[in-house]
Amino acid sequence: MKLFQNNLARVIGCLFISMITVQSAQSAQLDVIPDVTSAQVGDFFNTDVVISDFGQGGVGAFDISLAFDNSLLRLDSITFGNGLDLGFFGSLQFSSDNGASVQVDETSFEDEMDLIVVQLDPLLLFSISFETLASGTSALDLTVNGPIADASGFSDVGINAINNASVRISSVSTASSVPEPEILTLLAIGLISVRMTRRARR
């Protein structure tokens, strides 16, 4: 009897794992979308991570890392999208700054049908604010750490493409406070003209 129970437990476990890892016919796409492509040292900018083409099954969980050059960028803050936490049962949200990358994951506890009805395609998963530290170009590269589950939690939405991005950072240009020679010349000509006009009137 014990052998039967062990085998039954293995079969159920295998079925459960296969249900989670089965890829749906729909293949989704992940996009990294910074709100700027170039910035100056000391600026702040936001980067959205968006999923699209995820089909009618919705999105119920994700675990994603975003790598960046930490000599050029400093992580300022992380904001989760509201597509997995509808305010009823909530979601489990986690983020970890690992120096040159940040891991972000969220698992929804919301009702499957509520998620499917509310989620719009494309769906904002999270947004990261960065501060620029030095000149250079930083890649913003995504890594999917595990299956992105649909709203039921039992199927993988299947990522077909990841579109990464980069941001170019330049030094702050210091404007010269010394007037240009052309401006001084024009000012002198203007003063001379005013003086000559006054003499002509006398």
Residue 132 inside a domain? The answer is yes
Higher per-residue confidence, 26 vs 157: 157
CATH number at residue 158: 2.60.40.680
Please name the amino acid found at residue 154: F
Residue 65 inside a domain? The answer is yes
Residue 18 inside a domain? The answer is no
Q: Using one digit for the tens of pLDDT, what is the confidence trace for 54-72? A: 988 999 999 999 999 999 9
pTM above 0.75?
no
Contacts of residue 34, defined as CB under 8 A and 6 or more positions apart, other chains included, come to 45, 46, 47, 48, 140, 165, 167
Does the pLDDT of residue 5 top 50, yes or no? no
Residue 60 inside a domain? The answer is yes
State the residue range of the domain holding 190: 24-201
Instruction: Give the chain's mean pLDDT.
Output: 84
Higher per-residue confidence, 23 vs 84: 84
Residue 164 CA to its chain's centroid (Å):
10
Q: If residue 11 lies in a helix (H) or strand (E), which one and from where to where?
A: helix 2-21
The confidence band for 180, taking pLDDT boundaries of 50, 70 and 90, is low
SS3 140: strand
Residue 2 inside a domain? The answer is no
Residue 119 inside a domain? The answer is yes
Weakest mean pLDDT among 45-49, 121-125, 148-152, 195-199: 195-199
Residue 165 inside a domain? The answer is yes
Total number of domains constituting the chain: 1
Q: If residue 38 lies in a helix (H) or strand (E), which one and from where to where?
A: strand 38-40
